[in-house]
Amino acid sequence: MALKYRAPRGTNDLTYPSSEKFTAVVEAACGIMSLYGYQRIVTPIIESTDLFRRSIGESTDIVTKEMYSFEDRGGEWLTLRPEGTAPVVRAFLEQGLASKGLPQKLYYAGPMFRRERPQAGRFRQFFQIGAEAIGSRDPFGDAEIIAISDHLFKHLGLEGYSLLLNSVGCSDCRPAYVAQLGEFLTRVRDSLCVDCKRRADENPLRVFDCKNESCRQAVAEAPGIGDALCPDCTEHFDGVKRHLERMSIPFGIDPRMVRGLDYYTNTAFEFQFEGLGAQNTVSGGGRYDYLAEELGGPATPGVGYSLGIERLIMVIQAQGLDPFNPPGLDLYVAGAPGTDRDRLLEILMEMRRAGVSADADTMERGLKAQMKQADRLRARLVMIIGPDELERGEATVRDLDRSEQWTVPIKQATPRVKDYLARAERPPAEDKDSDG
């Protein structure tokens, strides 16, 4: 019989143990952001559609092609958030976070939504973590934001990645460069795709986003913005590079990197990994000193980044790493035939309330099948109880890792089990489940 319902195209289900590994990667990333003094912020999954049109840019692919937008029953246009920075800056302004002191260093973790063509490393619902430092123009903030990803990659033991930098200028120096770029694009217009011809008219910088090979070749000789930077932007960019050098974080310069969002100013950066094909950017971000003002707030500088967890996990798997072996169960309570089931469940719940992860049979299996279930759940201990053991008030506890067993009074079983688990280090075990 064919399944009637399947997950929407471009989305996927995470089942155990992949779900646990996914969570562990997110927790590792959030833990590192906490080390840098960032605190968590949670924003709604839906926001005003105009928030993204104003911040990301009307001519970007995200706004013109990829956003999931709808009109609700009250006539308001809402959008499933396609990125995290604009919602965080909106919350910063709405909640008056500047009154708590600047800079505000905030991080987020959650799903984003874009209607892209699904492929390896690209989904329509995807999970991002990111951080925003709002309130300071100091180039050290840019370098610190960049250092978070580098720290995480090193923590995970990853190799084969490179950091690319560029400066996209400011409102003083960018207009002259955009005009220069526009003149260049006019000369190569016949070689551009339909979308890039539109971009060349609306926002010439967006042409650098195109993945079409003919467009890439057409703009290969386009002028870079580096030579057009004003003294302040040059000084800022030099400061970022100097801080990265002091942090021993190597980097390269990509004069045509503009990122896919219009709110970027000055610093733009990407971390790219070898072997991922077209979707090789795992982390990226930059400075956005005009975004708060664009959203109706006072002029407030900011810098941030975001990282795609699905792509990061692809890299982890491609490099043969598995630093997050899901933990097994502490205890499985197995009952022999004829054992008072209510008493077993009382013991099970007592263990759980004491902080011992525990489970028991709910399928009326025999004792042999229960032992197999305990092994499948990677239980450390099995407590075996039969009618005779209940009558004597004792149970047998077996350590499946060490092939040892002993008898404990049932009334003292919970503290005895907790004490044993705290004292006995579990030997490393291979994960018997696949990551499918």
- Domain limits of the chain? 18-173+229-318, 331-423
Q: Quick one: 431 exposed, middle or buried, by C-beta within 10 A (0-12, 13-18, 19+)?
A: middle
Beta carbons of 56 and 86 less than 8 angstroms apart: yes
331-423 and 18-173+229-318 share a CATH fold: no
Sequence letter at residue 222: A
Beta carbons of 115 and 68 less than 8 angstroms apart: yes
Quote the Cα angle for 294-36-240, to 5°: 60
What is the CATH class of 18-173+229-318? Answer: alpha beta
Beta carbons of 300 and 287 less than 8 angstroms apart: no
**Confidence category of residue 323, pLDDT binned at 50, 70, 90:** low
Please give the DSSP secondary-structure letter assigned to residue 25: H
Q: What is the pLDDT of residue 16?
A: 86
* pLDDT per position as a tens digit, 117-164: 888 778 999 999 999 999 999 999 999 999 999 999 999 999 999 999
Mean pLDDT, all residues of the chain: 93
Name residues whose C-beta falls within 8 Å of residue 51's C-beta, 6 or more positions apart in sequence: 79, 86, 87, 90, 295
**Confidence category of residue 431, pLDDT binned at 50, 70, 90:** very low
Taking each helix axis as running N to C, give the angle between helix 18-35 and helix 309-318, from 0 to 180 degrees, rounded to the nearest 10: 110
* Section 99-124 average pLDDT: 93
Q: What is the pLDDT of residue 428?
A: 56
**Confidence category of residue 433, pLDDT binned at 50, 70, 90:** very low
Share of the chain above pLDDT 90, in %: 80
Beta carbons of 346 and 395 less than 8 angstroms apart: no
In sequence order, the β-bridge partners of residue 304 are 132, 286
Please tell me the pTM assigned to this model: 0.87
**Confidence category of residue 259, pLDDT binned at 50, 70, 90:** confident
Taking each helix axis as running N to C, give the angle between helix 85-94 and helix 49-56, from 0 to 180 degrees, rounded to the nearest 10: 110
pLDDT at 32 over 90: yes
Least reliable range by pLDDT among 226-230, 306-310, 394-398: 226-230
What is the CATH class of 331-423? Answer: alpha beta
pLDDT at 226 over 90: no
